[in-house]
A and B are shown apart, each in its own frame.
Chain A
Amino acid sequence: MARLLVPVLALLALAAPPAIAMAETVAITNAHIYSMGPSGEIAAGVIVVSGGRITAVGASARIPDGARIIDAHGGVVTPGLVATNTPLSTVEIAEGVEETNDNATASGVISAAFDVQYAVNPNSVLIPIARLGGVTDAVITPTLNGRHERKNMIFAGQAAVIHLGQGPDLLEKTHAGMILVMGEDGARIAGGSRAAEFVLLAGLMEDVRAYVHNLANYDLGHSRAYGLSRQDLEALVPVVEGREPLMISVHRAADIRQVLRLAREQKLKIILEGAEEGWSLAPEIAAAQVPVLLRGYADLPQSFDMIGSTLENAAHLNAAGVLIGIENPPIYEGGRTPRIDAGRAVAHGLPFAAALASITINPAQIWGVADRIGSLEPGKDADIVVWSGDPLEPLSAPTAIMIKGVEQPLRSRDLDLRDRYLHPTDLPPAYH
């Protein structure tokens, strides 16, 4: 690695530092505000931003002297959208350029300890494209995809929350959650049966608890053999202690029930992911106070785990009182923005406000960052989008995007490509 790092660092040193706009005092006026917070919906209001934070939201908030005005012209203003369960910034090109795929490991030593925070690339050209979809923050989750040949490694690793602003450091929260894959995919890793997954998992949890209670002996080599490396055991300590959420990819109703039982017995704080058949036990999920992350397009029996998939899943879970987040598929697989999937859930019964919450405040709550992002409230980060229309509609688009109080350029690599070929000159496109 050292051999590779040296020239990379040298290149960085030579490159001119990117121009980073300063956080300023701004008032967004004539705004139809969906605050997703205590201020609710304000048909005509003002949002004041200063020092990167929101300082006021209201129908008649006072505009500070000297504030720059962004006139929303009656347009909808929302919190920046939160892309959930995405590889954004850790994968540049998914197929055929494996060396840019840093969201999964085939390591036999690192599974739970795998931590995507070290793979975040602020210079990914995919980030500005996601930003133009109104996404200001993203939950980066590791995966097992394509690199799960190894056995007994059912943990994909730890998630991180990033913002999509500019600059060298995008991390908002590390160790945001542990990712575990169950169902058919997990069964494949656990030797072919999902029954093995639950036994294996319970055993691993016991190992972590034993490790914590016998730390000194472990270092002296006086403990029994554990099923995980020391790094993995360490990473799982906050999970077994219920301090870090465990996101479990699980699909069929029977497995969801097993997972709820396991979480209750082990006193784990869990998040269900996928949960295509979750609607059929919505009251149980609500009673367990377990949040659910949904794939907003899922409605086919794509596996025997998902016979009951339906676009009405979001509506049923929400109606039962489950906290839902609608995920964002990888940006290169139709997932430029989560807003369309949220809108689709509205077409299948989810109330509009709940749909908007499912891509803003709800994922912020689920991933433990609601103190800073997900709603427009004084004191929160100024991650704000002004829209040309209904944010869930395909004909709408952001007209202004602010991240941590800094207005973002409405540009991306794909717009550069567009303009190069839209306006030909006498010279080849490479000259303009």
Chain B
Amino acid sequence: MRKFVSVAVIVAAMACAAGCATQTPAPPRAQAANSKPGATGAGAEKNIEAKVLPPGLDPSVNPDLYPSTYRPLPSATTAIINARILSPGTPEITQGVLVMNGGKIAAVGADVKPPPGATIINAHGRVVTPGIIDPHSHLGVYPSPAVEAMSDGNEATDPNTAQVWAEHSVWPQDPGFAHALAGGVTTLEILPGSANLFGGRSVILKNVAATTVQAMKFPGAPYDLKMACGENPKRVYGGKGRAPSTNMGNVAGYRAAWIAARDYQRKWDDYRAKAAKGEKADVPLRNLQLDTLSGVLRGEIRIQNHCYRADEMAQMIDISHEFGFHIAAFHHASESYKIADLLRREGICSVTWAEWWGFKMESFDGIEENVAMLQRAGACATLSSDDENLVQHLNVEAALAMAAGNRAGLNITRPEAISWITLNPAKTLGIDAKTGSLEVGKMADVVLWSADPFSVYAIPDQVYIDGGLAWDAHNPAYQPKSDFMLGQPAVGGQR
């Protein structure tokens, strides 16, 4: 349990730092790292580098690299009245009011009165849900058009590329972002692909139209490291005549990397201990790959692990025990239902599908009821898209999964099913204190649906992100369009 506590503390600290950064511009980072210009002068101690290393050489300086510059869209105090309010963890309110103020949910309930001066949206009985969160997306790194020139999702040059960051591949002009928004998606995690044992860092984005990825970065969100089990890494590298070419080769690869990360941590710890005592010490060479891996071992970076089979998940859990880290979620997780109790005990979420299965051996046992069975076993259950089309229809995926669960007699409730695409992905990503449900004080990430969101006929009429109207299906002024789509003569519909 201890590792959970330390993760929470660190995440909270990071959140504060980044949260502040969104309020007032932070000073230039290089300057902060170099803040004692006289320190390296003629009279300095010979081990003075212990206190200040040249910019970029000390991994402990400024953990908030490449900071978010996200600014919420303009918003007014808004009350959605006569709404059917569907949110995780609470009974559905058949006729209620939701108030958004200052980018946050200010009030929600059956007896809430709209504040004076608020913009009133009459839902006329339509359903309001939290914004949808897709915890497994490759938008921006595998954008549309799917051309080789922008196929930036897999650094498939080495089985360990923990040093790469997905955000450095994201193309903010991917038209897929606006399509996902039209489907009600307000937050996404963009991951590197699964060619490698360690694919690199993921990035959590607010689904706002922006010219830079920094302006999309979810303020204060923790970082994730993508790992991959199974067929993909061994196919990619075995096919090149190098390790890994088997599952046992995969496991040896993970373990060797974690050993290197522990060793790297030890070197820095030794260096700092000696430097603190004024002893002479060699500065370890900073290594981006090991920075990320040791960030995991310190509990600052969460593991998102592509893994289909139950037996492979159990192996990954043992590896996490050997080296002392926690796996936040298994992704795709086609066989999670076979080990639901183990996943519950370990506190690991499953990020899976209802309808995608069987496209390779390791997904052959995927079933529609996976999410519902995890839910009933008390394990964290989440849907995701991993696809630029499915991301637009995750509400229907949740409906299919709920229906399958109920045919199996699992009595899945509507708030439970909506949690699979809202609160549970927020938990998976470590942002559930900020978004994922319609609770007072959370980010006002809200969808107003044209019909029941568990209907194929429903489309989001309006989508709010941090209280700002980001999409309106009936007002072209609130339908963002990527630069790429400008001037194209053949545009035939809003989606």
Contact = CB atoms under 8 A, between A and B. Distances in A.
Interface string A298-326: 11111110111111110010000000000
A175 to B, nearest CB: 29
B403 A301 contact: no
Given A93-B360, A421-B338, A280 B490 contact: yes
Interface string A121-151: 0000010000000000000000000000000
Interface stretch (B114-122, B286-294, B423-431, B453-461): B453-461
Given A312-B493, A394-B454, A395-B454, A333 B145 contact: no
Interface string B405-445: 00110000000000000000000000000000000000000
A397 interface: yes
A418 B459 CA distance: 31
A394 B358 contact: no
Interface in B144-158: 144-147
Given A301-B485, A344-B456, A97 B396 contact: no
Interface in B208-242: 231, 235
A241 B388 CA distance: 41
B495 A310 contact: yes
Interface string B360-373: 11011111110001
Contacts of A311: 493, 495
Given A392-B456, A414-B367, A348 B495 contact: yes
Contact of B355 (A302, A312, A334, A395): A334
Interface residues of B, number: 55
Contacts of A316: 492
Given A308-B491, A395-B402, 15 more contacts: A95-B360, A252-B490, A280-B490, A299-B392, A300-B388, A301-B175, A302-B144, A302-B388, A303-B145, A303-B146, A304-B147, A310-B495, A397-B403, A418-B367, A421-B373
B389 interface: yes
Contacts of B275: none
A300 B176 contact: yes
Contacts of A392: 456
Contacts of A394: 396, 399-400, 403, 454-456
A215 interface: no
B110 interface: no
A63 B458 CA distance: 40
Contacts of A340: 396, 400, 456
A332 B454 contact: no
Contacts of B396: 340, 344, 394
A269 interface: no
A301 B493 CA distance: 12
**Looking at A300, A303, A396, which has the most chain B CB atoms within 10 Å of its CB?**
A300
Contacts of A331: 358
A355 to B, nearest CB: 10
B457 A332 contact: no
Interface residues on A, range: 35 or more
Contacts of B478: none
A336 B458 CA distance: 21
Interface of B: 144-147, 175-176, 179, 231, 235, 337-338, 353, 355-361, 363-369, 373, 387-390, 392-393, 396, 399-400, 402-403, 407-408, 454-459, 484-485, 488, 490-495
A97 B361 contact: yes
Nearest to B373: A422
Contact of B147 (A97, A303, A346, A396): A303
B436 to A, nearest CB: 22
B185 to A, nearest CB: 14
Nearest to A97: B361
28 contacts: A96-B231, A97-B361, A126-B358, A279-B493, A299-B495, A300-B388, A300-B389, A303-B145, A303-B146, A306-B145, A307-B145, A307-B485, A307-B488, A307-B490, A310-B495, A313-B492, A333-B356, A333-B359, A334-B387, A336-B355, A340-B396, A344-B456, A394-B455, A395-B402, A395-B455, A417-B365, A418-B367, A421-B373
A65 to B, nearest CB: 35
**Looking at A277, A279, A348, A414, which has the most chain B CB atoms within 10 Å of its CB?**
A414
A395 B235 contact: no
A394 B458 CA distance: 11
A418 B408 contact: yes
A396 B454 CA distance: 11
Nearest to A336: B355
B457 A347 contact: yes
A272 to B, nearest CB: 16
Interface string A392-424: 111111000000000000000011011001100
A297 interface: yes
Contacts of A313: 492-493
A204 interface: no
Chain A contact residues, majority secondary structure:
loop
Interface string A64-106: 0000000000000000000000000000011111000000000
Contacts of B485: 301, 307
A332 B403 contact: no
Nearest to B485: A301
Nearest to B339: A421
A331 B353 CA distance: 13
Q: Which 9 A-B pairs have the closest CB atoms?
A: A308-B490, A310-B493, A343-B456, A312-B493, A394-B399, A332-B358, A310-B492, A95-B360, A332-B359
Contacts of A421: 337-338, 373
B361 A93 contact: yes
A332 B357 contact: yes
A94 B456 contact: no
A304 B175 CA distance: 13
Given A299-B389, A303-B145, A332-B357, A277 B175 contact: no
A253 interface: yes
Contacts of A346: 456-457
Contacts of B408: 418, 422
Given A310-B492, A346-B456, A414-B367, A301 B144 contact: yes
Contacts of A298: 389
Interface string A9-20: 000000000000
A334 B399 contact: no
B337 A347 contact: no
A149 to B, nearest CB: 16
A94 B359 contact: yes
B441 to A, nearest CB: 33
**Looking at B359, B363, B373, which has the most chain A CB atoms within 10 Å of its CB?**
B359
A302 B408 CA distance: 37
A312 B359 CA distance: 29
Contacts of A335: 355
Contacts of B457: 343, 346-347, 393
Contacts of B147: 303-304
B145 A302 contact: yes
A280 B355 CA distance: 32
A292 to B, nearest CB: 14
Nearest to A395: B403
Contacts of B357: 332, 414
A284 to B, nearest CB: 14
B458 A347 contact: yes
B30 to A, nearest CB: 39
